[in-house]
Structure 1
Amino acid sequence: MVSQRVDVLVLGATGYTGKLIVQYLESHPQRDQFSLGIAGRSLQKLQILSKELSLSSDVSIFAFDITSYAEVEGVVQTASVVINCIGPFFKWSTPIVRACAHNGVHYVDINGEPLWMKDIIQGYDFEASNTKAIIIPASGTDSVPSDLAVYLSARELAKKRPNASIGQSLTAVKMPDSGLSGGTLHTIITSIEEVPRHKWSDSMIPHMLSPVHNAVEVPFRMVWNLPHTNIYGGISPMGSVNEKVVYRTWGLLEARALSTAHRDRKSIRYGPKFQYDECAEAYSRITGLLWSVTFMTSLVAIALLPPVRWFLKMFGPQTGSGPKHYDGAIMTYTNVTSTDAPNPDHVQTTVTFKGGPYSMTAVFAGESALALLFDHDKLTNLAKEGGVLTPMSALGDTLVERLLKSGRVSYVTKPLYPKDTRKTA
């Protein structure tokens, strides 16, 4: 049994994204108010990381065997909040969630694996609600920005039309030019090769993680146009993950609104006919189509051709490595959400993130963990009941405030009108 106690524990700290999260937390303005621990499989690598990052002498180091549940539980029990970066998550991280749910330890991770998320919802949501453990998967760039953009639009519409339901919501994602980390590539390939084939059919269901199913299906597209704008898009590489998290947020809020035992008039509700879709921003319809064709061709080649996967394993980025950071990287998520009405109201929310997808993951996961640690009284009623939740269903306005205060996130929300087709910068 480990005797040390820490407020925030980063599991998988020596990986590419884990290191970024440790750096972010170590330099956080509230650093003198919480104790920090780093954990992984190799004590030597953890000690090297501590020296490399010049971590404070009070940062605790934990080495543990990920294949031993007793050791996993022992490490988890040292923490108030766990940030998990150990992937592929379907392969390694179920025991970590199990230990958090069983011991009432709050948890966030950076996974983008909806099939695994379904497993932990089915396996540990009930136990987490009993112990009041708040479990928030997908707290990185998968899928905080998408969840946030919809939430901000819905909140604005609720101010204008308190009783209105949302109809369509579409987000266009603009990413800086950057590559994948070795961990991300390894997860993609390992998922294709090792996840049982019978599970993959679930990945085609947008609301597979939602406690409420939406009968309104969003048709498959290759090209998008945000309503009442000149913003076009093609297939979003992260869209199939993000949509499932957004739909789980919708389903959790909808289920609570429909429950007489938990009815909360102050909670945001998207409405029964909510539809979400996402695209990668493109310069025009043609470039959007070309991108979609290129992406689908590449995805099929990776999925069906073992030589392609072999080549990527040999010559692609290796585990622990990732894209170089550069100043001025910007991510932009532009969302248009409309009420479900004959003459609908439309809101456009543009969220700007100062950083690339991996550096922003450090911000999202770090602030989510600190919200759980410091701001429990400000969390949503759903969060206070525990369970496997989503970033916005659990953290809501508290996460919005923290992200704005970080100086790395800003947003603008404005009404849209049918003839307003001006390009948004």
Structure 2
Amino acid sequence: MANASSYYSSNSTATSGINFLPSLGLEFSGSGIATPSPKFYELNRVSAGLQKYYLIVLAVIGVPGNALTVATILSMHTLSPATFFVVLLAVFDGCALIVKLLGNQLGQHELMGHPFFCKIMDPLSIFFSTTANWILVLICLERFISVCYPLKKAYLFTKRRSYICAAVLIGFLFTLIMTILVVTRTYEERQCKVEKSSLWFHINVWLNLNLALYIFLPFVLIALLTTFIIRGLRKSRKHRMSLVGKEDGNSQEMRVLKDCSQDGARVPRKSRSLSTPVTPTSIHNQRLLEDTARVERMITLMLIAAGMIFLLLSLPMALFYLIDPFNRLNVDKMTVSAARWTLFQMVAFLLLDSSHAINFFLYFLTAKRFRVQLLRIILGRAACWGRRLAGREQEAASNGNRPRKARGSKGGGSHSTTSTCLNSSGSRGSTVYLPSGWD
């Protein structure tokens, strides 16, 4: 997690803005304080254990999950603005976990004052984490326009504009974060410190800006956009139900008219030549429209789930930073309440950092198409490897039972197994992967 320990050390000239290892309340002056109770040390041990191991667990889970998300989405060959942002989010989530874990391990080995950590690792941690949250904001904005203003989506969110928005966002955050942290920090006496000339800016501007960019602004925007998306989905559902009701009423009226016409004069049948012809092209276009609608519903469901989970996981950290300024009088005391507050801080870090690791599982649970495509990749690769092994064994057995052919006179039969292996999108015909229908 980024952004917390710098908040605690902001009143010192040795402030580093370090974001990997938040203060555990283990170094106190203890002036006027009696020997802490065993409960205090027990709570601090729990906090220290969480600090030491939780990023390892999240990286082991999240990095492969984000890699599978990228592979699955790209294998669909339907890269839209929404899927592009999903891939970008997975990339930055994975990078954030990797950089955080490296920084955590540097801190465990007391290398947090190293120039590499001071000038590169810590700023990159803030950059990747902040950018991932803002990409989720862009995803919610794209879904909001798709649901509430579907006729304007094709104009507002083209692929080219999506690429430009992502490039501008990444470039702006990278320039802002890296410039501020590289300029305001210095490496002195084997410690990462803030320049004395920049101390006021660091305490009064950067720390607040950092919190706003990383937590508060994304939290508020995602909450608003998710609320509008859910409201728009409800309105569209009511509108669709009303249209279905009108169609049912019209069909019933047509049946009544048909019964009346059978009792009276015979109504001449409409010439078949006047009706709209049904061609293979129209059927294909209809299927494309239906498939596009299913993809849109899948993406909307996936990203609503991702937005809601982000709000739930970031809420404890937002509450922590809202309450913490009023709790500063007790934070430096070796009391049980201070240890509990530190433990709450660590749990908040764990929850917020886990938002970089669980999106893959949300997609897998909420989107059937994502599950099917992932199974295609896994089963296709497994079948490909199995066929290659079987082909090599068959080739070895056949070579042992017949005379060796002259060099260059091989037939193509021994290589036929590899040519039929599935690619990630399942484009070659095979009986290994699941049926092509998504529903």
TM-score by length of 1: 0.25
Structure showing greater radius of gyration is 2
Q: TM-score, normalised by structure 2?
A: 0.25
Larger strand fraction of residues? 1
